[in-house]
Structure 1
Amino acid sequence: MSWGRSFNHSVKAVCAAAALACGLTGTAMAQDADFSGDRVELIIPFGEGGGTDTWGRFWAPYFSVFLPGKPTVVVKNIPGGGSTSGANQFEARAKADGLTAIGTSGSTQFPYLLRDKRVQYEMRDWRVILASPTGGVVYVNSDLGVKSAADLNTLKDIHLRYGSQGATSLDLVPLLAFELLGLDVDAVFGMKGRGAGRLAFERGEVNIDYQTSSAFINNVTPLIDIGTAVPLFSWGAMDDDGNIIRDPSFPDLPSFPEAYEMMKGEKPSGPAWEAYKAFFIAGFPAQKMVFLPKDTPENIVEAYRAAAVAATEDKSFLADREATLGEYKQIVGEPAERIFRQATNVPEEARSWVQKWLTDKYSVQF
């Protein structure tokens, strides 16, 4: 079974589309912006090699091609604090001139939603450019003897170790999932990103891990091919009715609700499940987003949105999207604004339950 193909993206792969960019027409406001000779920094608040870094490096050359004036767009990694360090720096230092953007993950918005004391950014003030839905896959070391999700019950009596960025990061979703499944998982905190978690898995320091779709496709598939990793389940995707279904990028893997039912013999329910669902929605259907600072002039915002639209219609983008981003439609403009608002409004009951659970289990103070 093929889980994807390796992908090595370069600026040259998209520069052929530059001629098309010259003929694009956008709004008059978008045409007013000009980044000729400029250097744009796309801040990724994680270390290199993880899902958000992979995603950001995929998008950067397309912005370079399709923004007016074709600026040089570079990725700047600022890891730390489960992504709050980079987000705090963006809030404090980024000017509203279009020369600094940030690419976030659920690990950036979860601390914000949970009112984590490290957060010094007001995310709802930022100007959203695009949202990238994604998924994630949980996998284990093949030495555990597990072949698929059908063998989940054999993990109940095994002590598992998971490399985590922090309990209030995007890792909240897997930690809640492990709790629901009743697995004995020791969270090893301090990872600078999911890429660091994967490297810890490869070194044998942890034996259960998850990666978002882009990192899984590119970096975990080789581990599966050589037989050192076994995929168990994906988080799933949302259908138009708000139901969690199988992830279209991994149709042969059960979704988390399916895996739960396979293990427990019943559908998930209860307050822990309701909390899980709320943060899953906030973390994955609109998990990765590109923002500009608050007060960015409308013509610059429109230039970025027009560039994102142009990229998603480009043949190179369409040809390469699946290998890096998976089978997910990129959300741009007003639809991105709507899903951003939904993702940053978690029901108060779910927030309160999760805060209490995090305090009781991991001594997180709010």
Structure 2
Amino acid sequence: MTDITRFTRRAALGVAAMAAATLALPGAAQAEYDFSGQTVEWIIPFGTGGGSDTWARFNAPFLSRHLPGNPTVAVVNEPGGGSTRGTNLFAARAQADGLTILGTSGSTQFPYLLGDPRVRYEYQDWSVVMVGPTGGVAYTSPSTGISSVEEIADLQGQRLTYASQGATSLDLVPMLAFRLLGLDVNYVFGFGGRGDGRLAFERGETNIDYQTSSAFINNVTPLVEEGTAIPLMSWGVLDEEGNPQRDPTFPDLPILEEVYEMVHGEAPSGDLYEAYKAFNTAGFAAQKMVVLPTGASDELVEVYRQAWRDVFADPEYQATVTDALGEYGQVTDAAAEALFRAGTNIGDSVRQMVVDMLQDEYNVRLGD
């Protein structure tokens, strides 16, 4: 059992015990809401076939099974604007009747955190009912002259090249990490996805890269085994108190905080590190969220959280989720609330520092 799984179960059991000790809210809420014969639209602000679509389509039948009345849960794709289009539509139109929910991703959180003018939604007006984390691993080429992460300081002073989807995509996390470590990285923007970035690495066009956990396991591990990729660090996970910990999928890999101390001899701090933490949480530790719209009642929130508790306890779900979504346990209740807060809040000075960095160094203007 992974640390994340233990975290998930402890959180769920703790909240259940608190509820039982106070009000019998779950039963009352279940009685009030009956979705028999209705359709719940699960808005996914991305196209079909991507990670968010895959995540939602795996979860949807289980959610249908465990909501009162077993409604049809239909995934509705509303792509555009880097996910802001569909999210804006949800914010403007969704009624608080339980028949419309939204699935967000790091690509939805990032424009919000950056103050992108395309954003017409406010996370703090919504109620989170589930959060799904993921992870990622950074690696480099042996052509840099290093053979392990212990030699990462030798990357300083070298000109490194990275194939990027864009400075406001999830690639912002490795950009901030490499900057913290003092690495000189040339970002080549415009790649269609992380898969394209990996292929550029394999062709020798770049010499530093990152992949999400599943892509690293499936596509980069063979490169590690043949000696053409050197793992550097994972992005880690958060514990119950929000502290960074090693990723249970990659327990032998250090996280950025450990590597920073290895290079600089002290723990990271300051606005740049605060920015890294904020975007790492929004992009990975709290990457995917299920939220209810503005005005959702406490009873409706409890209905959905109870449904997710039942999903997580479903034997069929437990038997299939790892193959479908990886090792990272999805969470509800207090655990989801903590990740939601961490992934949707950033200090004004930290935000402005990142916005200025994107504009001054990469000619990126938000909303363009």
Check whether TM > 0.5. yes
Structure 2 CA distance, aligned partners of 1:139 and 1:41? Answer: 39
Q: Once structures 1 and 2 are overlaid, which stretch shifts more, 130-139 or 303-312? A: 130-139
Of 199, 202, 218, which residue of structure 1 is paired with 2:199? 202
Aligned to 1:305: 305
Q: Percent identity?
A: 54
Q: TM-score of the superposition, structure 1-length normalised?
A: 0.77
Q: More helix by proportion, 1 or 2? A: 2
Matched letter for residue 81 of structure 2: G
**Aligned residue pair count:** 338
Q: Once structures 1 and 2 are overlaid, which stretch shifts more, 288-297 or 51-60? A: 51-60
Matched letter for residue 202 of structure 1: L
The answer to whether the Cα contact below 8 Å between 2:240 and 2:335 also exists between their aligned partners in 1 is no
Q: 1:48 to 1:162 in 2, by over 3 A?
A: farther
Structure 1 CA distance, aligned partners of 2:125 and 2:357? Answer: 29
* Pairing 1:239–2:235 present: no
Aligned to 1:360: 360
Aligned to 2:162: 161
Q: Once structures 1 and 2 are overlaid, which stretch shifts more, 78-87 or 139-148? A: 139-148
The answer to whether the Cα contact below 8 Å between 1:312 and 1:318 also exists between their aligned partners in 2 is yes
The answer to whether the Cα contact below 8 Å between 2:232 and 2:253 also exists between their aligned partners in 1 is yes
* Pairing 1:43–2:47 present: no
Q: 1:243 to 1:69 in 2, by over 3 A?
A: closer
Structure 2 CA distance, aligned partners of 1:262 and 1:325? Answer: 32
Aligned to 1:10: none
Measure how far apart 1:310 and its partner are.
0.3
Q: TM-score of the superposition, structure 2-length normalised?
A: 0.76
How is 1:150-299 mapped onto 2 (pairs within 5 angstroms)?
150-153=150-153, 155-156=155-156, 157-164=158-165, 166-190=166-190, 196-202=193-199, 204=203, 208-217=208-217, 230-240=230-240, 242-264=242-264, 266-296=266-296, 298-299=298-299
Matched letter for residue 162 of structure 1: A
Structure 1 CA distance, aligned partners of 2:40 and 2:143? Answer: 45
Q: Once structures 1 and 2 are overlaid, which stretch shifts more, 140-149 or 100-109? A: 140-149
Structure 1 unaligned segments of length 5 or more: list them. 1-24
Structure 1 CA distance, aligned partners of 2:96 and 2:207? Answer: 44
Equivalent residue of 1:160, what SS?
strand
> Alpha-carbon deviations, 1:261-297, whole Å to 9, x = none?
4445554344322332333344433332101222345
Equivalent residue of 1:101, what SS?
strand
Q: 1:66 to 1:226 in 2, by over 3 A?
A: farther
Equivalent residue of 1:331, what SS?
coil
Structure 1 CA distance, aligned partners of 2:66 and 2:364? Answer: 43
The answer to whether the Cα contact below 8 Å between 1:27 and 1:302 also exists between their aligned partners in 2 is no
Q: 1:250 to 1:322 in 2, by over 3 A?
A: farther
Structure 2 unaligned segments of length 5 or more: list them. 1-24
Q: 1:345 to 1:184 in 2, by over 3 A?
A: same
Measure how far apart 1:332 and its partner are.
1.2
* Pairing 1:90–2:90 present: yes
Structure 2 CA distance, aligned partners of 1:65 and 1:191? Answer: 39
Structure 1 CA distance, aligned partners of 2:27 and 2:240? Answer: 30
Aligned to 2:71: 71
